[in-house]
Amino acid sequence: MTQHVYDDYFFDEPAYNTHDGGYVPLEVADAPESQLAIPPLLKPDKETDTDAWYTLEAQKGETQILPGAKTKTWGYNAPLLGTTLAFEVGKHIHVTLKNSLDELTTFHWHGLSVSGPYVDGGCHAPVYPGESKQIDFTLDQPAATTWLHAHPCPSTAEQVWHGLAAMVLVRDQHEASLPLPRTYGVDDIPLVLQDRRFHENNQWDYHADYDPDGVQGPTAMINGTVNPVFDVTTQKLRLRILDGANRREWRLHFSDDLEFTQIASDSSLLPEPVHFTHLMLTCAERAEIIVDFKNYKEGDTVTLFSDDVPIVKFRIHAFKPDNSVLPDHLIDIHAPKVLPTTPVRKIVMSGMDEQVAIDGKKFNMQRIDATQPIGLAQYWDVTNTNTMHGGMVHPFHVHGTQFLVISRNGGAPYPNEHGYKDTVGVNPGETVRLLVRFDLPGVYMYHCHIIEHEDGGMMAQIQTYDPNKPMPKYRLMDMETLTQAFAKERGVDPDTMWMAGMDSYKKMGMKM
């Protein structure tokens, strides 16, 4: 049977970020080509058959990104971005979170099913400068490409922009049984897609670049590398692609319209492989794709583009033939049953610039906006009320769980949305129905993942609970405590301190 190959980006073209008033087009940097940086795997401090211990340090550094002066950057166990973590499902994980920065931060496990709010690492789990905290968890979820990033609202966007983002791979026995490339750094390659503007002496200036609809820069930075080249030594590559940008959508295609196969999205393998020549990712989405270079020879170059700008070059070297066949079925997806008596949760994302909100309200750290019993499956109807002309795609993310995309405006989801996800792009004027279930009690955020939007108030939080136990109370961060801490650490007056997300509140005459 002839397989269908999709050659469009699916999302509504009038809503692409290319139509934003503040859109910053990508440009090829005036810099030499460099070997694509591959973040090393973080080795555990200690490991047994049942447990593994890690130390994760948020730190400052300097990175040679462009010729000339090094750029001041932040990272996890690295000067920029971070070492890649790999966790086995079922193993008990112990992590020491160490903050060697000059200001508080948090460690958010984006895509992991861990308890909230403290382990999940949203704004209620600060680690102050010079301090360490201990967390532990055991994962019970499918194999996936997830990630770690800072989340100290309303300075999440600025800290991610400084470089606090790293890949987190979840591995399980089922994924290991499939004939997939999995030699990390050789044929299993992470690609963290970001963009930056370089100012004087090759430095980043978040304040100068700030845009309430999302900060963008003209220079593509892939795994922290500008103008990267990867040397291909195997016939097939597995690319784990993360849209790690604050705002930018990535519309990806290869030279020669080379066909590739998506095998996984955010939170699991796809039930069946989906074949593409073009793929669009919104902020925080992930895609695992298989690229087969069988029709290329040593000395050839294949280029990955975003829109019409080259972002990675793949130099083909001699390789052994690979006759492995990808199965027609990759994973069984078992949708939890929704009881007919369970109401549909309605969520509305509205506004742009400083007016962004969820359900007509801006985020308040002390307010619980919704509750849901653990183990209960519920439909969430997520609506983007932006108009098509002048509107934008809002990527909607839920902490602490993986959901299923049931429909778009009552029709079918996109062909690559049939696995588990934690982030989904919602077009202007569209309602996306999700099937959501939480398995662990806690407080979790849900928000737009244009990071300046979440900092600006397009965020809410839900408390999940065991219906057979009393509802617990959690100690939640408040804006006064957070502001005083940042002001002290930065050595400024709290009344004059600039935090990007607070501009949206002040201009709307509101407080967080």
Q: Domains plus CATH for the chain?
A: 5-25+183-316 (2.60.40.420), 38-176 (2.60.40.420), 345-465 (2.60.40.420)
Residue 495 DSSP SS3: coil
With contact defined as beta carbons under 8 Å apart, do 52 and 138 qualify? Answer: no
How is residue 455 written in tokens?
A: 């900092």
DSSP for residue 41? B
Round to the nearest angstrom and report the end-to-end CA distance of the chain. Answer: 56
Closest by Cα among 16, 11, 496, 508 to 248: 16
How far from chain centre, in Å, is Cα 115?
19
The pLDDT tens digits for 204-253 are: 999 999 999 999 999 999 999 999 999 999 999 999 999 999 999 999 99
pLDDT at 427: 97
Nearby residues of 411 by Cβ (< 8 Å), 6 or more positions away? none
- Quick check: 508 pLDDT over 90? no
- Quick check: 501 pLDDT over 90? no
pLDDT at 390: 72
- Quick check: 512 pLDDT over 80? no
Strands 370-373 and 459-465: parallel
Which residues partner with 59 through β-bridges? 75
pLDDT at 494: 87
Q: Average per-residue pLDDT in the chain?
A: 96
pLDDT at 356: 93
pLDDT at 210: 96
Q: What is the mean predicted confidence (pLDDT) over 162-186? A: 98
The pLDDT tens digits for 321-363 are: 999 999 999 999 999 999 999 999 999 999 988 899 999 999 9
Which residues partner with 62 through β-bridges? 72
**Ranges 2-11, 71-80, 249-258, 455-464: which has the least confidence:** 2-11
Reported as a pLDDT band with limits 50, 70 and 90, residue 496 is confident
Q: What percent of the chain has pLDDT over 90?
A: 93
Reported as a pLDDT band with limits 50, 70 and 90, residue 256 is very high
Reported as a pLDDT band with limits 50, 70 and 90, residue 145 is very high
pLDDT at 499: 87
* C-alpha span between 413 and 197 (Å, rounded): 35
- Quick check: 473 pLDDT over 80? yes
Reported as a pLDDT band with limits 50, 70 and 90, residue 1 is low
* C-alpha span between 142 and 441 (Å, rounded): 19
Does the model's pTM come out above 0.85?
yes
Reported as a pLDDT band with limits 50, 70 and 90, residue 29 is very high
With contact defined as beta carbons under 8 Å apart, do 348 and 383 qualify? Answer: yes
How far from chain centre, in Å, is Cα 127?
21
Q: What percent of the chain has pLDDT over 70?
A: 99
Which amino acid appears at position 215 of this protein?
V
pLDDT at 237: 98
Count CB neighbours of 472 within 10 A. Answer: 11
- Quick check: 265 pLDDT over 60? yes
Reported as a pLDDT band with limits 50, 70 and 90, residue 255 is very high
Reported as a pLDDT band with limits 50, 70 and 90, residue 80 is very high
- Quick check: 139 pLDDT over 60? yes
